[in-house]
């Protein structure tokens, strides 16, 4: 009988504890904000926002980033409109850099076929022949590490989509 009463009252005690913790946080935040405020308490009481105060306001700031997020998103959108290519005025990467990265990806265990596909897609976008790049990389890995040959993915699993 006693254990069932204890189990029934446990959720109520937890809720009461959470409410007390929120109240204590609200009081601490309120006391800290009043120390840094104006000396004229009546003036600050008139200008203080009603409704959302203390801990509730801090909790709101966590979930609602405010206007700064909107302004940053607008700025980013304007920059993207001004330079739709994303600012990539650089020359395409040489095929050797793709070759090295594909070889490194083939040597890793486990082999990440999605990473290899991404590298081959990037090489294709830069105008390189991705089939030749993959064939040379596989040939290089098979020559240096023949024990990896059975694990190397076929072209069909890594081809750019």
Q: How many whole angstroms separate alpha carbon 115 and alpha carbon 108?
A: 11
pLDDT, residue 65, reads: 62
Give the tokens for residue 40. 């004229």
Question: Taking Cα atoms as reference points, which of 96, 98, 111, 108 lies closest to residue 154?
Answer: 111
Q: Which residues contact 84 (CB under 8 A, 6 or more apart)?
A: none
Q: What is the mean pLDDT of residues 27-46?
A: 64
Given a cut of 90, whether residue 36 has pLDDT beyond it is: no
pLDDT, residue 144, reads: 92
Given a cut of 80, whether residue 135 has pLDDT beyond it is: yes
Question: Taking Cα atoms as reference points, which of 79, 149, 150, 151 lies closest to residue 110?
Answer: 151
Given a cut of 60, whether residue 97 has pLDDT beyond it is: yes
pLDDT, residue 33, reads: 74
pLDDT, residue 143, reads: 93
pLDDT, residue 109, reads: 85
Q: Tell me how many degrees the CA angle 142-144-145 measures, rounded to the nearest 5.
A: 65
Between the alpha carbon of residue 77 and those of residues 5, 71, 122, 151, the distances in Å are 59, 10, 24, 44
pLDDT, residue 87, reads: 52
Q: What is the mean pLDDT of residues 79-105?
A: 75
* Percentage of the chain lying above the pLDDT 70 cut: 68
Global pTM value: 0.45
């Amino acid at each position: 009988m006693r254990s069932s009463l204890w189990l029934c009252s446990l959720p109520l005690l937890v809720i009461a504890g959470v409410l007390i913790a929120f109240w204590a946080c609200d009081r601490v935040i309120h006391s800290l904000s009043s120390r840094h405020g104006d000396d004229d308490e009546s003036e600050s009481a008139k200008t203080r926002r009603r409704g959302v105060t203390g801990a509730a306001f801090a909790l709101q700031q966590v979930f609602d980033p405010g206007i700064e997020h909107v302004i940053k998103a607008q700025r980013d959108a304007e920059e993207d409109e001004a330079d739709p290519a994303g600012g990539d005025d650089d020359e395409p990467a040489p095929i050797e850099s793709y070759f090295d990265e594909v070889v490194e990806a083939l040597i890793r265990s486990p082999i990440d076929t999605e990473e290899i596909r991404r590298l081959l897609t990037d090489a294709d976008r830069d105008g390189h022949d991705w089939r030749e790049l993959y064939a040379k990389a596989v040939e290089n890995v098979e020559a240096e590490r023949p024990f990896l040959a059975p694990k190397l993915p076929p072209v069909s699993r890594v081809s750019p989509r």
